[in-house]
Chain A
Amino acid sequence: MTAAPLLTVTDLVKTFGEGDTATRVLRGLNLTLAKGEMAALLGPSGSGKSTLLTILGTLMQPTSGAHQMLGVDLTTATDAALTQFRNRHIGFVFQFHNLLPDFTALENVIFPTAIREGRETAAARTRGADLLTRMGLAERINFPSANLSGGQKQRVAVARALMNAPELVLADEPTGNLDRASALQVMELIAQINRDEGTTFLISTHDEKIAATCQRQIVVGDGLVTG
C-alpha cells in the first residue's frame, strides 16, 4: 500500500540574480514525500539541498514550478498565509540549533505555540515539558538555553520543531555541528518520533551514516533529483 503524498513539487525552478549574473540553483526539480516518511536529502555543496529545504519550508518562493502540501498550493499563497501555514504544519531544525538565547529551554520549545495562541498557555507548557523529557532534558527544562551544551541545544531545537505537532519537519544538517555520539542520539530521537507519531522528516545531510538511518535517500545534484 502506497502512503498518501504529503507534499509534491513539480518542475521546481529557483534562480538567484538576473541577467549575466543569474544563477539557476534548481532546474525543474520534481519530488514527492509521503506522509510518515523519513527521508535523507543527500548531495554535494551547492547542489541545491538548502534552497530546496527553504522553499519546502515556505521561507522562499520558487521562480517557477508547483509546490503543494496537504492539498494547498503554496506558490500562490500570500506571505501572511504562508507564515500561518508554516507555524501550523512545518517544523524546522537548523544546523546551528538557532535557539533564542535569552529564553529558557522550555520557553524556546513552546515558542511556536505561544505565537499561535498569543500567550504561553498551561497546556503548551505541559506539552513542552513532555517533549523535553522525551529528549532527555527533564533536568534542563528551565535552564537558560545559552547555558546548554551543543547536543542539548540541538535536542531542544528538535523539541521545538515538534511542538505544534507538524506534519513535516525539515532538518538542515541537524547533526553537522555535533560529535558522533550526540549526532546518533539526535537521530535516534528523530527516528523514534517518526515511528511513534508518524511525523514526516526530510533531513539534509552530508553524512552517509546518518543518511543510512533514514528509510529513503534522495540525492540532489545540479539542481535536480538524481537518485
Chain B
Amino acid sequence: MLYALKIATRYLTASKAQTALLVLGVAVGVFIFIFMSALIGGLAEFILSRTAGDISHVTIEAEDTTPALLLTLPGTVLLVQETATETAKLREATSFVPLIEALPEVKAVSPQITGAGFLRRGTQVQQMTIVGLEPGRESAILDLDGYLVAGDARLRSGAVLLGRALVQDMGLVLGQTVQLQSSNGVTAALTLTGIYQIGSGGGPDRRMAYVSLATARTLFAMPQGVSRIEIKLFDLYAADAVTLRVEGLTGLPAKSWTEDGAQLLEALKAQAQTGYFLKTFAMITIIIGVASALLLSTYRRRPEIGIMRAMGASRLFVVGVFVTQGALIGVMGGLFGAGIGYLALLPFPTRDAFRSGTLPMDITQGSYGLAITLTVIGAILASILPARAAARVDPVTAIGQ
C-alpha cells in the first residue's frame, strides 16, 4: 500500500486548490463538531456547577429524634405545625468521616450542624437557617470561597458569614456584631467576617448564616455529634452507587442528590442528546463533502484509472488509492479543524472562571481526539463508494476517452 499512498498523495498535491478547499470543508465540519462539544460540555458543566455542583451529592442526615404517632378520631382533622426546635443528631457519625473520605469516589466530606434560628440587629429580626461548618472545610460542598464578595471565608470561633442581600437589607457592615439566636433559644454575639453572593443574590443570600461547627454546637446545645454529613463526589453521576456503599459502610441512612434532581438529570441528558444530533450532522456533512469530491475526482481521472488497470493495477490497488486519498483528507481536515477549533476556544474563560453572562465554552471538552478519529473514519467510509466506482472503471472505455 506504500505505492498507493504515493499515488494518492500525488493526486492530492496535483490539484492543490481543490484539495485545499476539500480539506477546509472537512476542517469546518470538525470545527463545528469541536465547538459544539465544548459548548454542550461547558454548558452542562456550568449548569451542574451552578446546581448539583454546589450541593451535597450524598447526604447522611439524622432521622427525626421524636417521630410522632398521629392518631385522629373519625370526623376530626388534625393540624400539625412542623417545628425545628430540636436538632436531630448523628451521635457517632463523625467517627465515620475518615472512612467515607477514604472512598476513591469521594472528593470532600463536610460534617455539619444545621438548624433554624433568628438574626437580630436592634429591632430587626430575620429568620435564618444556621449552618455550622468545620473550619478548613468551609468550601467543601458549597464554594463559599468562590462566592465571597467581601471579607474572609474562614470560619473562626465567633464569626458569621452572611449573604450580600441580607447584609444590605439590614444595613450591616463587615466587622459588625450581630445576634444569632438558635431555635433552642441560645443566643450568640457573632462578628460578620465575610459576605457572600450566590448567583443574582436571591433566596440563599437572605436565608443562610454560616458559622463554625464550634459556634453551632453552642447555639444548638450539641456538645457532640453532628446533624448531617454532606459528601461531594468527583463524578456526581456515581451518587446512587456511592450512596449504597456509604449506607453499607456506616449503617446510616444516606440519600443521593438524584432523588430530588431527577428533572435536572433528564434536562442534562436531553441537552447531551441535542449535542449528539448536532455532531452527527457535522459528521454527515463531512462524509457527503468527501464522497462528492472524490466521486468528481474519480470521474476526472477515469482515463488514468484505465491506464493503471491496463498496466496491471488490480481493482484492490485502485480502491486503495482512493481510500488512501479519503484517509489523508480526513487526517488533514481533522488536524486542521481541531487546531482552529482549539485556537477559537482559547479566548473563552476556563471552566473554573465561568461567570454569568459569558458563553460557557469548555476548551477541555472539545473532544479533539474523538473528532479527528471520527473524521478519519468518516472520510474513509466516504471514499469507499468513489473507490469502488473507480475500481469498476472499464480500462478499454476509459483509455479511449
> What is the interface of chain A, defined by CB distance below 8 A to chain B?
54, 57, 59-60, 79-80, 83-84, 86-88, 92, 94, 98-103, 111-112, 114-120, 160, 164
Contact = CB atoms under 8 A, between A and B. Distances in A.
Nearest to B13: A102
Given A86-B312, A102-B10, 5 more contacts: A54-B396, A100-B304, A103-B10, A111-B308, A115-B308
B3 A115 contact: yes
Given A88-B312, A102-B10, A115 B317 contact: yes
Q: Is the interface of B mostly helix, strand, loop or mixed?
A: helix
A30 B314 CA distance: 29
Interface of B: 1-3, 6, 10-11, 14, 303-304, 306-315, 317, 395-396, 399
The 10 closest A-B pairs by CB, nearest first: A87-B312, A102-B14, A119-B2, A112-B311, A98-B307, A86-B312, A114-B3, A115-B313, A83-B314, A59-B396
Residue of B6, B14, B310, B312 with highest tally of chain A CB at under 10 A: B312
Given A54-B396, A59-B396, A115 B312 contact: yes
Contacts of B395: 59
A218 B396 CA distance: 23
A120 B311 contact: no
A160 B307 CA distance: 11
B122 to A, nearest CB: 90
B309 to A, nearest CB: 7
Contacts of A84: 312, 314
Contacts of B3: 114-115, 117-120
A57 B312 contact: no
8 contacts: A59-B309, A83-B314, A84-B312, A87-B313, A88-B312, A94-B399, A98-B306, A102-B10
Given A115-B308, A118-B3, A98 B303 contact: yes
A102 B255 CA distance: 70
B311 A115 contact: yes
Contacts of B306: 98
Nearest to A157: B307
Contacts of B313: 83, 87, 115
A214 B309 CA distance: 28
B310 A102 contact: no
Given A114-B3, A119-B2, A120-B3, A87 B311 contact: yes
Contacts of B1: 118
Nearest to B307: A98
